[in-house]
Amino acid sequence: MPVSRCKASPSKSVVINRLTGMDGARRARGVVIVIDVLRSFTVSAYALARGASGCLLVSTTAEARALHKKIPGSLISAEEEALPVPGIPISNSPTQINAADVKDRVLIQRSSAGTTVMAAVESADELYAASLVVARATARACLSKQPQALTLIASADHPEDHACALYIEGLLRGEEPDVASLLQPLRESARFARAMSGTWPGFPPTDLDLALVPDRFDFAMPATRHDGYLRLTASVVDHAKG
């Protein structure tokens, strides 16, 4: 388990743990950041940036459908095994979210990695969802909490989630990691080639362009627990505090 230390303030150091997946969620402690770059928490960020009132995270499609029935005007974004779900027009796609009318509406999200791993976090002083597009803002928000311990969880064992974790860790330590270098393993993968080909159902190649630009948005996405779901909202932290 990789561990490092960084300065959260002139007087306090933070122990940073990097973990992966469901096991990582159960072992997390302190301030917890769950990362899903392709594509769940990129979808969340674009929805919130375009005026969604919140993103509700659930573990199953059945839970998403049930919650949708209870919330008038809500939308569902869902995938199962990285494929679209029949009857749900919006897949786990930031491209599709950008084309949807989300302003002042609730987005209900279900994904195979991000939302399920988020739900499995058993202990957290503060809980955040993150992706590359909100990485710097997330680091700033966490530093403002002056935590003693911080856990970065790659929701899946994918190179882009690990790259985002390393990028956020570097920012927490006052560094400026080279995102292009961190993402090179992804760009060299068969998974990336498949996504770029345009043959992956529910995964337009434009999703890659939207997901892999760091720090596109100046807000973090803290999560609050509710009965049956987690709610993400956009939170801007004063630069002077981070």
Q: How far apart are CA 239 and CA 242, in angstroms?
A: 5
Average pLDDT, the chain: 93
Contact 172, 142 (CB under 8 A): yes
Reported confidence tier of residue 237, pLDDT bands at 50, 70, 90: confident
In the predicted model, is pLDDT for residue 240 greater than 60?
no
Q: How far apart are CA 109 and CA 64, in angstroms?
A: 7
The predicted structure's pLDDT at residue 10:
29
For the beta carbon of residue 174, count every other beta carbon within 10 angstroms.
9
Tokens representing 51 are 């005026």
Phi and psi (nearest 5°) for 212? -100, 10
Q: Which CATH architecture has domain 3-232?
A: Alpha-Beta Complex (3.90)
Mean pLDDT of 1-29: 74
Q: How far apart are CA 31 and CA 5, in angstroms?
A: 14
Output the pTM of the full model.
Answer: 0.93
In the predicted model, is pLDDT for residue 91 greater than 60?
yes
Q: How far apart are CA 49 and CA 94, in angstroms?
A: 11
Reported confidence tier of residue 14, pLDDT bands at 50, 70, 90: confident
